[in-house]
Amino acid sequence: YIRPLSAFPQLFQRIPVCDPTLRFNYFVEHILPRFDTSTYDHTLIYLSSYFDFVRLRNYMRTEKHKQFNYLTLSEYSTKKQVLLARNIFYHREVRFLLMTERFHFYHRYRIKGIRHILFYDLPSYGHFYPEIVHFLTLPHVEEKKKTTLTRAQHSDEPSTCTALYAKEDALKLAYILGQQAVTDLLNSEKNTHMFTNK
């Protein structure tokens, strides 16, 4: 299994639904509003399902929800679209970057400028989790001088990582945290758990 990276405390939040439609409704009603603030500018939303990606993208682009400031990266993005999205996300105040698992699977781009990560659901491949969390160590545009320190070590606003999971995600959790941790999470009365290697 893969332990979470030590430099960034990671919150695992249990949600009460697993059905795709119910999960989406729960996400847009209870999770997304919490992240739609200036505190969470430059948030990567990782989605393992292209279907969920399309549904969330379409939700954000509707007239009713046009206040969302977001960019997208999927397996169907052209090289030009990828270059433009990465450049805009890094250099400007963008609230969300939606990224599919298959985009990461095929390209393995290092996405700079990420301050926060929100896993809509857990990755299908356990080793993708630390690869995505590692994006938090990459530089942000506000760093004017090159340094060996990570952004989190000299940013006033700490980076965050939140992973959503349901009871049905036990196997995916085991690949990331190990079976004992999964047992503790699923049997706990608490819905949120913070992990670090420290």
Domains in the chain with CATH codes: 10-143+155-195 (3.40.50.300)
User: For residue 127, what pLDDT is reported?
Assistant: 92
- Percentage, residues of the chain above pLDDT 70: 87
pLDDT at residue 198 is higher than 80: no
Q: What is the mean pLDDT of the chain?
A: 87
> Which of the two residues, 67 and 42, has the higher pLDDT score?
42
CA distance 1 to 28: 31
Place of tokens 């630390």: 130
Q: What is the pLDDT of residues 165-187, one digit of tens each?
A: 999 999 999 999 888 889 989 88
Is residue 148 over pLDDT 50? no
Q: Give me the pLDDT at residue 151, please.
A: 44
pLDDT bin (cut points 50, 70, 90) of residue 152 is: very low
pLDDT above 60: residue 144: no
Task: Return the percentage of the chain with pLDDT > 90, whole number.
Answer: 68
Sign of CA dihedral 62, 68, 74, 78: positive
For the CA atoms of 165, 171, 176, 179, the dihedral, rounded to the nearest 10 degrees, stands at: 110
With b meaning 16 or more CB within 10 Å and e meaning fewer, what string describes 53-81?
bebbbeebeeeeeeebebbbbbeebeeee
- Cα distances (angstroms) measured from residue 97 to each of 71, 117, 132: 5, 10, 13
pLDDT at 158: 85
pTM, two decimals, is 0.89
- Cα–Cα dist 47/98, whole Å: 7
The yes-or-no verdict on residue 69 having pLDDT over 80 is yes
